[in-house]
Amino acid sequence: MKIKWCGHACFLITTDDGIKILTDPYEPGGYGGALAYGKVEDEADVVLVSHDHADHNYTQNLKGKPSVVKGAGKHHVRGLEIKGIATYHDASQGKERGNNVIFCFTADGFNLCHLGDLGHMVSKKEIAEIGSVDILFIPVGGFYTIDAKTAGEVVNTLKPRISIPMHFKTEKCSFPITGVEEFIKDKSNYKKRGKSEVDITKASLPQSEIWVLSHAL
């Protein structure tokens, strides 16, 4: 499996069979230029949209003819069973920023979980629905999502084999959120991979690591 971080909460996941899954595509230059990541040029077969904000739902002009998956429940697309779990974009049951969907699916024998713009600590019910996680895509920047402290608590609770931070401040994102350093500063099990794309095999799966990727766009 290949995983590429395009930027923000957008990842391109390519399975060994060549199925391409794109998560939360953003509007390039959105929010008056506050989100300056480049346009996604890769073709996708499946697009996951955690919620309808422009930095997560920009499916216009994507290459290919992808199936767009939104909402809670079970979705069967391109041979994948994708589970959407209803959560909130804030700690006030959606009163501030609305709803959010966590997506979980299995591909190439890995259990993947993309938390979208999760805004609160996961509940016991949500933890049970998520189940075992090998690869976790987790927002860490705070303000719009869980912050670094809560993200650490989520990781400690879900116990993924690999945690990949997302939705944090970079030179291409001037949102009022923190950088990834706030999340990793008190941790020793992180690796700055120095690249945007990684290959993952069963043999290379660590017991518990945080992988900080560089954005591709």
Q: With contact defined as beta carbons under 8 Å apart, do 142 and 178 qualify?
A: yes
pLDDT (0 to 100) of residue 1: 98
- Which pLDDT tens digit goes with each residue over 109-162? 999 999 999 999 999 999 999 999 999 999 999 999 999 999 999 999 999 999
Tokens of 42: 């890769």
Sign of torsion, CA 160 104 88 217?
Answer: positive
- 165 pLDDT band, cuts 50/70/90, is very high
Tell me: the pLDDT tens digits for 37-70?
999 999 999 999 999 999 999 999 899 899 999 9
State residue 181's pLDDT score: 98
Which domains does the chain carry? 2-212 (3.60.15.10)
Residue 122 CA to residue 85 CA, distance in Å, equals 11
Q: What is the mean pLDDT of the chain?
A: 97
User: Which of 46, 57, 56 is CA-nearest to residue 21?
Assistant: 46
Alpha helices in 167-207 (DSSP H): 181-184
Q: What is the pLDDT of residue 158?
A: 98
Tokens matching residue 154: 């989520």
Residue at token pair 């941790």: 187
For the whole model, what pTM was predicted?
0.98
Strands (E), 147-192: 162-166, 190-192
* pLDDT, position 30: 95
